[in-house]
Amino acid sequence: MIIESILTTLDAGGAVNFAPMGVEWGEEEIVLKPFLETTTFRNLQATGAAVVNLTDDVMLFAQGAISNAQFPAAPATVVRGVVLEAACSWREVRVRSLDATPPRARVVTGVVHRGVRREFLGFNRARNAVLEAAILATRTHLLPPDQIRDEFARLQVIVDKTAGPREREAMALLTDYVRLAPAAR
């Protein structure tokens, strides 16, 4: 099962990278599949550790999908890394194996620590719509503009019906980004 998370990694010098990422969830093992050209992949190679943060704040997914956003975080307990302050819960993981076959790596990690800050209430339809919009925003160079525009229109209806202020703000951020993004070739 794929669970949407905010993955935090550090580079060799200690700089933090925040990256929205769907991960293959398991209680003792979590599989990460970053693209080879990403900071996340380079950091996993360099340090062998990450924190898989579960959060219900979709603004973090929206900002992380379209920019090199930085968020408040605190040191992890066991691994060299950080825990997102907005995390409901998290898993600190260490790399067990790394297959760098293009175009995406397959990084098998072992859970070495779990933490919980607050209950995760789940996503309503608007939060799910924003997550889907964030994923689409990362694909503007791959998909035809008409397809993205049509899907955003469909998702906007859901946001209009079921969102709170934070979800509306996140959707507006993504809509502006996609409107200004260069079209797929």
- At 95-114, the pLDDT tens digits run 999 999 998 999 999 999 99
Q: Is 61 among the domain residues?
A: yes
Q: Which two tokens stand for residue 99?
A: 């297959």
Q: Is 63 among the domain residues?
A: yes
pLDDT value at 64 more than 50: yes
User: Which tens digit of pLDDT belongs to each residue from 14-33?
Assistant: 999 999 999 999 999 999 99
pTM of the model: 0.92
Of 95, 116, 137, the position where a domain reaches its end is 116
Q: Are 141 and 184 in contact (CB under 8 A)?
A: yes
- Distance from C-alpha of 27 to C-alpha of 93, rounded to nearest angstrom: 11
CATH classification at residue 99: 2.30.110.10
For the chain, the average pLDDT equals: 95
Q: Are 18 and 6 in contact (CB under 8 A)?
A: yes
pLDDT band (50, 70, 90) for residue 120? very high
Q: How far is CA 154 from CA 49, 141, 171, in A?
A: 38, 20, 12
Calculate mean pLDDT across residues 37-50.
97
pLDDT of res. 182: 76
Q: Is 47 among the domain residues?
A: yes
User: Which tens digit of pLDDT belongs to each residue from 131-147?
Assistant: 999 999 999 988 999 99
Q: Is 101 among the domain residues?
A: yes
**Beta-strand relationship, 73-75 and 82-84:** antiparallel
pLDDT of res. 121: 85
The region, left, alpha or beta by phi > 0 then psi within -120 to 50, assigned to residue 105 is: beta
Q: Which two tokens stand for residue 106?
A: 């397959």
Domain housing 19:
2-116
CATH classification at residue 157: 1.20.58.290
pLDDT band (50, 70, 90) for residue 170? very high
Count of residues in the chain: 185
Calculate mean pLDDT across residues 143-166.
96
pLDDT of res. 185: 42
Counting the structural domains of the chain, the total is: 2
pLDDT band (50, 70, 90) for residue 184? low
pLDDT value at 164 more than 50: yes
Q: How far is CA 167 from CA 73, 110, 132, 171, 174, in A?
A: 22, 33, 12, 6, 11
Q: Which two tokens stand for residue 44?
A: 């996993």
